[in-house]
Structure 1
Amino acid sequence: MKKFKRIAALVLSVALVGISLTGCGGPKASSDTAPKASDTLIYAQGAEPRGLDPAMVDDGESAKVMINIYDGLLKYSKDSTKVEPSLAKSWDVSPDGLTYTFHLQEGVKFHDGTDFDADAVKFNIDRQLPPQVTADMAYASFVYGSVKDVQVVDKNTVKVNLTAPSTPFLANLAMVMSAPIISPKALKDNNNNVNQAPVGTGPYKFVNWAKDENIVLVRNDEYWGTKALTKNVIFKFIKDNSARVVALNNGEADMIDGIDATVVKQITDAGNKIFQAPGMNINYMAFNTSKKPFNDPKLRAAISQSINVPEMVKSLYQGYSEPATSVLPTFMEGYDKSIAQVPYDVEAAAKAIKASGLTSVKLMTYTNPRPYNSATGQALAEAVQGYLSKVGVTCTIDSYDWTTYKEKLKAGNYDICFYGWIGDNGDPDNFMYLLAHEDPTMNVALYKNPEFNKLIVKGVETPAGADRIAIYTQLEKMAAADAAWLPISHAETLCAYRPNISDFYFHMTGVTPFVGVSKK
């Protein structure tokens, strides 16, 4: 309980910080202003962010914090991935689809007091284009892969020129990864990396990051848009699922994520509420296709054939996830219900595996809950280990916390790993491109298929409609035939919150905007 007592003490200290902070540009309140518990929201999540520079990170834990610090040119609506104006108040697209002209909001300031303008937009995009782009900017090709160059027309107008038409381009600009606009001054002052010192134009300002403990934000009282209702937000890191539930039920946290079916009754019996919504995600097992033994698609298919996916999903997720039959969520354009992975057949699998001579494999997984896998990667790996033991394969499991796991993936020292994806923009390219990406922390199967990659490019350039949908259906079929992944499940979004919290929601892209959330 000592940990939770520190949270309560932190609420008061942060409230005091929020009313006296002047370094972020906020007005200084009188010293006798009394902090109130309602001034601070505490959100407990299962893992620590990798960083807070949108160009340098690719994980959901980072995204939940960054959505509150930064704005992009565009944003998504509250209940969908429909694109809406943000720092760009309007835009025009040339008839050939190669030039996008953005008309910017006027008078907007970054948290450090510098001006947001067309030069800032160009600076942010240019850092993610050749020759400036770096290998650790995993989302640069997702968002800006079609960009040729950026032109400043005047202070409040910027043109983005493309090398080829890009149907998902506007949706990409609303992502919380890569697309948000950072203060150029902050980037220059921090050697082009603000992972530890984020400066945006958003409704909250960064105050402090205590490693392994929390991140503290304070309201931006000079925000150009709708101002936040609550003064302070604390993102608290509590790795253990049961400890997060205890924190919620004891009132030491206002909202938590990473819950599963086993704790729903415990939460509701304590008078707390469940946030539940369809998830735009995929939870999967990936084979390392770059080396033996799983450079052989027939062996990959045999291993997949040995795992009873529907049975495993029912056991692990108890009705809060549905078995996946393909990479794409069932409601996304391109999904085809006729597509299926190799069917479960333990006898056929055992025969094929025995013929291959395979007797052992190395599994690598993560220990934290994920929005697409509330049971944790450890539980999933152990379930797979059980199935493979029935076909004569012994599994060793290497497990790491999420941040370490992301680093370990780069080395490729595994036969099979476990991963997942939360859709960023509602476009099928955002899912299928994972199997074409060059970054080993994105394309964890290390899958390389020139024909698949060509079709990915065609899908991006093809206008919305039946022809484009058919391309992504074809990509799904190719992925299923090659069995680089075993799709496992699509999870519902499950979070919990205290009854005195109003208007909390978890967006389908996996982020938690707090601008409209209040606490009684």
Structure 2
Amino acid sequence: MRRILILAALFLALYFAFFGFARPSEFFKTKSSQLVYLRQENCLTLDPAKAEDQASAGVILNIFEGLVRFAPGSAKIQPCLAESWEVSGDGMSWTFKLRPGVSFQDGKPFNAQAVKFSIDRQLKKNADSSITEASLIYGMVRSVNVVGNLTVRFDLEFPYAPFLNNLAVPFAAPVVSPAAVEKYGQEFWLYPSGTGPYILKRWNRGREVVLRANQGYWGKKPSINEIIFRSEPSSAKRLKLLSDGKADVIEGSPDLNLSGLAVKGISINRVTGMDISYLGFYTNKSPFNNPKVRRAACLSIDRQELIKAIFKNSALLAGGPLPPGILAYGEDNEQYTYDLKQAGELLKEAGYPEGLKITLLCYSNPRPYNSAGGRELARYLSGQLNRAGFQAGIVSYPWDQFKEALSRQEGDAFIYGWTSENCDPDNFLYTLFSSEQIANYLNSTRYSNQKVDTLLVTAQRIEDPDLRTRLYHDAQQQLFMDAPALFLNHSLNVLLSSQEIHDLAPQPGGLVYLNSVNKTKTTRR
């Protein structure tokens, strides 16, 4: 009898170890001490130095921290692991006073040496080929210097006003435990140790990541003890699990019908993506080296109809290259409005009275700024262009091959986009339209204008936000006149949550600090 009881107990222990703990959200309604977050994609890595996808960033944001961070629900900078900072008069040095009494999740102390270690491991001279994002975040950094145990100084190659924004990015910028990196080496991405409000509990790769509250966290203690990030590709299944009480927060999708959800007690959070989708023209070769041809193409596109027809109103019409919520964004910026008659006249003036045959290059897959997919968008744009007198053919490639074709300037025009992490206009305007960025193919239109270059470099190197705003406004006006691209839309990120979830404040781009989220008590099924 005793043997039977022992075997039964062993069976139950194994059963609940596998089913009860590994996949709790599949069988029970969520508990008040637990938050189940359903997303479309799987997490790929938990090393901030190697992450470049949003699914990984959403977890990393809650395990790690940087010297500064974006305030919840905004693009404003606030202190984090640094209590204060000062900039030298020439803008070439940034000195940070670090927060005392902070520990990493492995118990090791946070200090200036850890900051230097976290950045030095990513700088080009020390980085291996697997490191990503660091060149964008730290490209202007000449050296990181330990001034004292709780003081660190960054010396830059040139003055760079958006430097604080770079240090708030969840990619590359968070500080990691040197002891953990040295212990786990190349497998640190599986055993992360930061200073954030949550600690990795387990990771069933390809399925779920489970975090537990960091009881020794220096800041606001999490009110929810356990976070479960799970992947579910089907938006309909995600919504069903939310409606059934088996999920608390889910990623929305353009194919979801959101009408009537509020009546069912489901909250809808819409956040404009930090991105831009655009139709670009090779400005350095015929036929789009002629500004009249570029403007004719811009006038051919009914962008408002595009939002309805292609995105089913699940995207935001672009008011220029910058998304709302960012410095120098302006709703009063001039934009091209649909005018077939004027488009035809410009084509004739440019020497094409019988029309113009062009090739439109596109990517085949959906992108963060284009949920409909590249082919679908290209078909719509080519149809519009054809009505104005163009004869637009389409060449489509998978993403990596598309970027190769773009670098060799295949076709005449192309659809493309950009996603920013640092929420600063420099990351859009300088990256996409500075002459300096032609060589590395980020300026894919090959647009070059000395006035715009001067405006962008000046704005990059001064800190006064009002002056930067005026400079970026002038640059955007010049871009409108020169028309190297037609700005189409920004994405709309949608998070749906149950009525038990409170204080959910998505960042621009859709990421969430979960230690500020609260949940009321629910009943187990």
State whether TM-score is above 0.5. Answer: yes
Alignment match of 1:421 (pick from 416, 419, 422): 419
Q: Offset at 1:118?
A: 0.9
Alignment match of 2:139 (pick from 140, 145, 149): 145
Task: Tell whether 2:180 aligns with 1:202.
Answer: no
Secondary structure of 1:313's partner? helix
Secondary structure of 2:514's partner? coil
Letter in 1 for 2:192: P
Q: CA–CA distance in 1 between the matches of 2:477 and 2:189?
A: 38
Rate the CA distance shift 1:58–1:349 in 2: closer, same or farther, 3 A. Answer: farther
Letter in 2 for 1:428: P
Rate the CA distance shift 1:473–1:501 in 2: closer, same or farther, 3 A. Answer: same
Q: CA–CA distance in 2 between the matches of 1:304 and 1:134?
A: 43
Query: Where do 1:372-411 residues align within 5 Å?
Result: 372-373=369-370, 380-388=377-385, 390=387, 391-398=390-397, 405=399, 407-408=400-401, 410-411=403-404
Q: In the alignment, what sits opposite 1:28?
A: none
**Largest Rg, 1 or 2:** 2
Q: Offset at 1:363?
A: 1.9
Q: In the alignment, what sits opposite 1:432?
A: 429
CA contact (8 A) 1:122 1:151 kept: yes
Q: CA–CA distance in 2 between the matches of 1:145 and 1:250?
A: 47
Rate the CA distance shift 1:460–1:428 in 2: closer, same or farther, 3 A. Answer: same
Letter in 2 for 1:367: P
Q: CA–CA distance in 2 between the matches of 1:214 and 1:354?
A: 59
Normalised by the size of structure 1, how large is the TM-score? 0.79
Rate the CA distance shift 1:496–1:189 in 2: closer, same or farther, 3 A. Answer: same
**Which sections of structure 2, spanning at least 5 residues, go unmatched?**
1-15
Q: In the alignment, what sits opposite 1:310?
A: 304
Q: CA–CA distance in 1 between the matches of 2:327 and 2:232?
A: 36
Q: CA–CA distance in 2 between the matches of 1:41 and 1:274?
A: 17
Q: In the alignment, what sits opposite 1:518?
A: 518
Bigger drift between 287-296 and 118-127 goes to 287-296
Secondary structure of 1:263's partner? coil
Q: Offset at 1:205?
A: 2.1
Q: In the alignment, what sits opposite 1:247?
A: 241
Q: Offset at 1:169?
A: 1.9
Q: Offset at 1:70?
A: 0.6
Q: In the alignment, what sits opposite 1:23?
A: none
Rate the CA distance shift 1:61–1:450 in 2: closer, same or farther, 3 A. Answer: farther
Identity fraction in percent: 29
CA contact (8 A) 2:445 2:485 kept: no
Q: CA–CA distance in 2 between the matches of 1:496 and 1:453?
A: 42
Q: CA–CA distance in 2 between the matches of 1:378 and 1:95?
A: 50
Rate the CA distance shift 1:108–1:465 in 2: closer, same or farther, 3 A. Answer: closer
CA contact (8 A) 1:15 1:231 kept: no
Q: Offset at 1:193?
A: 7.8
Q: In the alignment, what sits opposite 2:278?
A: 285
Give CA deviations for 1:140-169 in whole Å, capped at 9, x if unaligned: 344333322221122222122233333222
Q: In the alignment, what sits opposite 2:498?
A: 498
CA contact (8 A) 1:245 1:263 kept: no
Q: CA–CA distance in 1 between the matches of 2:128 and 2:283?
A: 23
Q: Offset at 1:137?
A: 5.3
Q: In the alignment, what sits opposite 1:215?
A: 209
Give CA deviations for 1:156-183 in whole Å, capped at 9, x if unaligned: 2212223333322223222222211122
CA contact (8 A) 1:12 1:37 kept: no
Letter in 2 for 1:472: Y
Give CA deviations for 1:5-47 in whole Å, capped at 9, x if unaligned: xxx9989415999xxxxxxxxxxxxxxxx99733332222233
Query: Where do 1:160-199 residues align within 5 Å?
Result: 160-188=154-182, 194-199=188-193
Q: CA–CA distance in 2 between the matches of 1:423 and 1:133?
A: 21
CA contact (8 A) 1:249 1:267 kept: no
Rate the CA distance shift 1:484–1:111 in 2: closer, same or farther, 3 A. Answer: farther
Q: CA–CA distance in 2 between the matches of 1:211 and 1:411?
A: 31
Rate the CA distance shift 1:121–1:192 in 2: closer, same or farther, 3 A. Answer: farther
CA contact (8 A) 2:116 2:145 kept: yes
Task: Tell whether 2:91 aligns with 1:83.
Answer: no
Q: Offset at 1:293?
A: 7.2
Q: Offset at 1:464?
A: 1.0
Task: Tell whether 2:51 aligns with 1:57.
Answer: yes
Q: In the alignment, what sits opposite 1:21?
A: none
Q: CA–CA distance in 1 between the matches of 2:286 and 2:363?
A: 15
Task: Tell whether 2:167 aligns with 1:159.
Answer: no
Task: Tell whether 2:487 aligns with 1:479.
Answer: no
CA contact (8 A) 1:305 1:342 kept: yes
Q: In the alignment, what sits opposite 1:31?
A: none
Bigger drift between 414-423 and 241-250 goes to 414-423
Give CA deviations for 1:221-254 in whole Å, capped at 9, x if unaligned: 3323222222222222233333332332233322
CA contact (8 A) 2:51 2:132 kept: yes
Q: How many pairs are equivalent?
A: 487
Letter in 2 for 1:244: R
Q: CA–CA distance in 2 between the matches of 1:193 and 1:417?
A: 38
Q: In the alignment, what sits opposite 2:66?
A: 72
Secondary structure of 1:473's partner? helix
Secondary structure of 2:118's partner? helix
Q: CA–CA distance in 2 between the matches of 1:300 and 1:195?
A: 46
Cα RMSD (Å) of the superposition?
3.9
Q: CA–CA distance in 2 between the matches of 1:354 and 1:245?
A: 53
Q: In the alignment, what sits opposite 1:224?
A: 218
Q: CA–CA distance in 1 between the matches of 2:193 and 2:485?
A: 38
CA contact (8 A) 2:366 2:372 kept: no
Letter in 2 for 1:71: E
Q: CA–CA distance in 1 between the matches of 2:119 and 2:126?
A: 10
Q: In the alignment, what sits opposite 1:20?
A: none
Normalised by the size of structure 2, how large is the TM-score? 0.78
Letter in 1 for 2:248: D
